[in-house]
Amino acid sequence: MNNKRLSLQEIKEKYPHQYVGLIDIEHEKNNSDVKTAIVLYSDKDKSYDELTKLAFEGKIMLMYTTSDEDELFFNGYQEYFEVNGERIFG
């Protein structure tokens, strides 16, 4: 648990490849993107079931920090390939 306010990029860098429960979200001006937020929980603190229950109760917003990057491989969509550490989009 951490009470420091972080930007979305900082959240992704500090909590990669995991679910986070966000509170006190500041949204971008013209859309619903998270600009900054406080990470109340990650899936190191609470199980996925506990996090989804908290989200449904409106106590946190649940998101997976690197879903785009991780799912493209996970689901075998092959939307990009990685060659020598460089991503090539299909």
Partner 1 sequence: MKEFSVDLIPSFQRPVIKLYEMTTLIDTGAVIPTFSLSPEILKSMFNAKLIFKNAQIGGFGGNCLGDIYSLENFKIGELNFDILEVFVPQNSVTKHPFLLSATMFSGMDYDFDTINSKFIISIPDEMSFHREFHIQDLKGKLYTQIVN
Q: Is 43 in the site for partner 1 (CB under 8 A)?
A: no
Q: How far is CA 14 from CA 23, 61, 76, in A?
A: 16, 17, 26
Most distant CA pair in the chain: distance in Å? 44
| 90 belongs to the binding site for partner 1 (CB under 8 A) | no
Instruction: Output the smallest distance, CB 72 to partner 1, in A.
Output: 8
Return the ∠ at Cα 8 (arms to 77 and 73), rounded to 5°: 15
Q: Check binding of 34 to partner 1 (CB under 8 A).
A: yes
Binding residues for partner 1, rule: CB under 8 A, are 8, 19, 30-34, 48-49, 52-53, 55-56, 58, 60-64, 67-68, 70-71, 74-77
